[in-house]
Amino acid sequence: MIYRNSYFRKELRQSYTDNKTSTSRKLAFALFSGLISFALYFLLQTLQESVLSDVVPEIMQPSFFSTIYIYIHIAFFLNVSYFMIYYDYLFLSEIRKNSWYLLVQMNYNPVSMFFSKFFALVFSVVWTYSVGFASMVLLTVFLKYNLILAYMPSLYLSGLIDLILITLFTMMISLYTKTVINARYLTLLSAVFIFLLKIVSGFYSILSNRVTMQNINNLSDVNRSGFIPIALTLMAVSSLICVFKARKTSQYYSSETDDSSISEGVKVVRLNLKTGKTEPVDRHRRISSNGKQIDMIVSVLLIILICTMLIFNVLVVLINATTPGNEVFIWGVIPYIFKSETMKPDIMLNDLAYFQKIDQSYTITVGRIIIFKQDNIVLVERVIQVNEDQLTVDIDYYPSIYQIGAMQQTIPKEAVIGVFVGRNRWLGALILFANTIFGRLLFLLVPTILLFYHRQILYLFGREKIK
């Protein structure tokens, strides 16, 4: 009876630590979620004049909406990471280890035990999420933005639905997956599935709109998006599957036979719960071939990530080293970070523009955008007239305080370094980020850490793949 009365509390104690009771740890996790989200918001503010302001303005605005919007995504990411790391303590793999078998034989109800497990975990998830949400709001108050309460319930609920959905998915996975490594990968895939479902169902068009989010009823409006009804259905189905599977599996004992105690010639069999027939048991524990393949894939991905980040670091250094008379050429192309609005919309501020290197025999036509040197300064302008060895150039965009044509000038053709062939706004934003203090640390420290600790990372995901 002691176990029956304390089961919920026992599970609550284990929800966020290694078999330890610690409210302070849950509080620290919640505050960390809020602080890391707040730090990310400040980091994004350094990228205001980039493609991010056009593509995802919802995270770039000076408002409570942007900070909370970032928080609900960071909270989801951190909880998924926590689920993957402490999967064995949090979910229902204990049923596969026969932890419930004796209790069921003593007439404990596996359904009520499942719901105790579920509610204990959900309580901890909701508690940490709510504290982190409140800390994010409190931190944003110091920025003195206009406090609009109308969209906060909608943001809070949308983040909470994601967390409960991934919790149920992972519980269901723990009842069917034999190895921890496979469970972790399936948990990650479930998180990706939820993210893609929100995109495909059009839910992000609601979630990213400050006006729409001020009415919480818009979240469940099927004319706008079917995500909420789908999510609720998936929750119900997952709960039913978990209840049925937990109830059925916990009533049977799965013995781990010690091979050393079995004489040669003795055949070991087990009962197949689906067919009701006996089948032979392979007494030799072996590494799953699937596990080896996954290990190889993870190793290759880590190597690609390390090499990509190192190469990107080299490119950033080279691009930043571009100075008059010392331009960087990569396979005949000059990469150039554009630092003005004079050529928009063809080249926007902080775009990474590409210029093809040319020589004196190259024919420059009217309308081409060129990069040239004048008085030891690199300039980018458009050709508006060609007169033998002289080019008349001008900028495309004049601010309202300037008279149109004021920047028009004539330059010698020999001053031209290259002609414009394209741009990439995302690489421009990435390089802009890489030039921040945090960006430099990230692109230098992460590959270094991965290089020296990749074995430990692989061990984390592969330590329990033996079956």
pLDDT, one tens digit per residue, over 149-173 is: 999 999 999 999 999 999 999 988 8
Q: What's the pLDDT band for 277 if we cut at 50, 70, 90?
A: low
- Domain borders along the chain are 2-256, 289-320+436-459, 333-434
Is the confidence at residue 323, as pLDDT, over 80?
A: no
Residues 6+ apart with CB under 8 A from 87: 93, 170, 174, 180, 183, 184, 187
Nearest to 212 by CA among 273, 285, 260, 158: 158
Share of the chain above pLDDT 70, in %: 73
* Least confident segment among 187-191, 251-255, 377-381, 395-399: 251-255
In this predicted structure, what is the pLDDT of residue 279? 61
* Least confident segment among 140-144, 277-281, 323-327, 357-361: 323-327
Is the confidence at residue 252, as pLDDT, over 70?
A: no
Is the confidence at residue 190, as pLDDT, over 70?
A: yes
Question: What mean pLDDT, rounded, does the chain reach?
Answer: 79
Give the Cα separation of 90 and 187 in Å (integer).
13
Nearest to 420 by CA among 466, 373, 352: 352
Question: What are the pLDDT digits (tens) for 202-243?
Answer: 999 999 999 999 999 999 899 999 999 999 999 999 989 988
Which residues make beta-bridge pairs with 393? Answer: 383, 409
Give the Cα separation of 31 and 249 in Å (integer).
38
Eight-class DSSP state of 420: E
CB 151 within 8 A of CB 210: yes
Query: Domain 333-434 carries which CATH code?
Result: 2.10.109.10
Both structure tokens of 395: 């900028």
Both structure tokens of 220: 């469940």
Which letter, b or e, does each residue of 121-156 get, where b requires 16 or more Cβ atoms within 10 Å of its Cβ?
bbebbebbbebbbebbbebbeeeeeeeeeebbebbb
